[in-house]
Amino acid sequence: MELSEAIIERRSCRAFVPDPVDETDIERILEAAIWAPSPLNTQPWEFKVITNRALKEKILSEGERCKAWALEKSGWKWLNGYNMDFLAAAPVIIAVIGDPKKSGVDMFMEDGPTGYQHACAAAVQNMLLTAHSLGLGSLWFTFYDKTKMRQILDVDEGKVPVALVCLGKPDGDPAPAGRKGLEKKVSYIT
């Protein structure tokens, strides 16, 4: 698929059919992930490919727990209607685990390391684009407590579950989300 087509046509998908995802497709998605750039080429990522039903249910429970928490904290009533069943329904979830010790120079900065997270986010974007090019739907999910998700996924203490990527054949066409025009977002300093 053409790069620009993948970038513009990718959608967040929240409904999947149960068919398993081909192993070769998963490998292509992971291969795309590791070609993302990273600070000093530290490649600060690991991936856990989750197809285990019980584990997906635990992830869903953590999402639901966070939803209840966020509802109280934010007062955003629309959260009530936010259904996260796709977490259990997605045939595959790939957890992207980041390593803050591989963050380049910003590991010395007061704000703490962020570069490793940005690299992981770039890896996720490569994954989403590649999934779309393979006819798969995807969702970038981060609505969980990091400490809790570390326990659920049995991640080492010093590492961070930066994102979960849900993957599967889409059930229906995900709705497109519009974008504000460039004129609202860009200024020029010449």
Cα separation of 36 and 98, whole Å? 13
DSSP state of 172: S
Asked if residues 170 and 94 have their Cβ atoms less than 8 Å apart, the reply is no
Interface with a second copy, residue 13, by CB under 8 A: no
- Which token pair is 81? 């209607």
157-176 binders of a second copy (CB under 8 A): 162-163
Residue 44: beta bridge partners?
none
Site string for a second copy, 136-155 (x = CB under 8 A): ----x-xx--x------x--
Q: Please list every residue from 75 through 104 that binds a second copy, using CB under 8 A.
A: 76, 79, 104
Would you count residue 74 as binding a second copy (CB under 8 A)? yes
Instruction: Find the binding residues for a second copy in span 18-57 (CB under 8 A).
Output: 27-28, 30-32, 34-37, 39, 41, 43, 45-52, 55
Residue keyed to tokens 């595959």:
92
**Which region, judged by CB under 8 A, interacts with a second copy, from 83-91, 125-133, 166-174?**
125-133
Residue in 89, 121, 169, 171 binding a second copy, rule: CB under 8 A: 121
Binding-site member from 124, 164, 166, 167 for a second copy (CB under 8 A): 124
Minimum distance from CB of 28 to a second copy (Å)?
Answer: 8
Specify the residue, 60 or 79, whose C-beta has the smaller distance to a second copy: 79
Q: Which helix (H) or strand (E) holds 88?
A: helix 86-89
Q: What are the angstrom distances between the C-alpha of 58 and each of 35, 85, 94, 144, 161?
A: 30, 12, 14, 11, 15
Tokens encoding 26:
């998963």
